[in-house]
Amino acid sequence: MKVEGVDSKQMAELDRIMVEEYGIELIMMMENAGRALASRLRDSLGSTKGKKVLVMVGKGNNGGGGLVAARHLHNWGAHVEVILADKIDNFREIPAKQLRIIRAMKIKMHPAKANLKVGKFDVIVDALLGYNQKGNPRGSIAELVNIANSSAKSIIALDIPTGLDPDTGNPGTPCIRAAETLTLAFPKKGLLSRASKPYVGRLFLADISLPKELYRKFTTKDDPFQQNSIVELEV
């Protein structure tokens, strides 16, 4: 399936309309995104039962979606561990709520500097940075990107691989090399560029409850989710 892409400014405006005009709150979109990610990972693995999953999360909304996915994967029988790219006190309000749920469920959490044996995991989830990212990853985020890439494990990225420019598709240094990317609502233009192919892997699009009228507002086509809430895109 082919779907037109949007740039980061268009996506920010779309998020604003969702919240301010339709009353679809960020926490609702985050829940939909995280559950879709968990579902895509379950389909990719065949089953999540007994699988070891490492979820790398940043302090922002992309990290919040990763935490939602971690919760669902835990409930579906996976052995989930979460590694935080920032201090707990620095997490934004809504991702911090997701973090409190993870703590209450006693899912293992580690600081960025933890000496984890990444080789024990079956798959790594990249939920470090979303479509607002600019420039090269820095600090602990850059370190986690390098650890994931050097692990030789399959990586699935939420919305956009960390380090990839959302508008041009040019990779930063470092940049996640994902086997799959699950992007949300619309593909970001950078994901559809030739330069991004080695970093995006298979590209999927997830429905996060965007009203169908908004597809006509931002593209020339109707919403692509008539048959399924997750669709694979042609790039």
Please report whether residue 1 resides in a domain: no
Q: What is the dihedral of CA 108, 112, 118, 120, to 10 degrees?
A: -10
Query: What DSSP string runs through 4-36?
Result: --B-HHHHHHHHHHHHHTT---HHHHHHHHHHH
Please report whether residue 14 resides in a domain: yes
Q: pLDDT per residue over 168-211, tens digit each? A: 999 999 999 999 999 999 999 999 999 999 999 999 999 999 99
Write down the pLDDT at residue 2.
87
Q: pLDDT per residue over 35-92, tens digit each? A: 999 999 999 999 999 999 999 999 999 999 999 999 999 999 999 999 999 999 999 9
Write down the pLDDT at residue 12.
95
Please report whether residue 188 resides in a domain: yes
Domain that holds residue 227: 8-232
Q: How far apart are CA 65 and CA 75, in angstroms?
A: 16
| Residue position matching structure tokens 């650890």 | 147
| CB within 8 Å of 170: residues ≥ 6 apart | 164, 190, 193, 195, 196
Count CB-CB contacts under 10 A for residue 46. 8
Q: How far apart are CA 199 and CA 216, in angstroms?
A: 29
Please report whether residue 86 resides in a domain: yes
In a 3-state reduction of DSSP, which class is residue 227?
A: coil
Please report whether residue 55 resides in a domain: yes
In a 3-state reduction of DSSP, which class is residue 167?
A: coil
Q: pLDDT per residue over 118-151, tens digit each? A: 999 999 999 999 999 999 999 999 999 999 999 9
In a 3-state reduction of DSSP, which class is residue 123?
A: strand
Please report whether residue 3 resides in a domain: no
The CATH code of the domain that includes 190 is: 3.40.50.10260
Contact 86, 59 (CB under 8 A): yes
Write down the pLDDT at residue 219.
80
Q: How many domains, the chain?
A: 1
Please report whether residue 136 resides in a domain: yes
Q: How far apart are CA 227 and CA 207, in angstroms?
A: 11
| CB within 8 Å of 109: residues ≥ 6 apart | 81, 82, 83, 84, 102, 103
Write down the pLDDT at residue 113.
85
What's the Rg (C-alpha) of the chain? 16
- Number of continuous H segments (helices) and E segments (strands) in the chain: 7, 8
Please report whether residue 227 resides in a domain: yes
Q: How far apart are CA 166 and CA 194, in angstroms?
A: 13
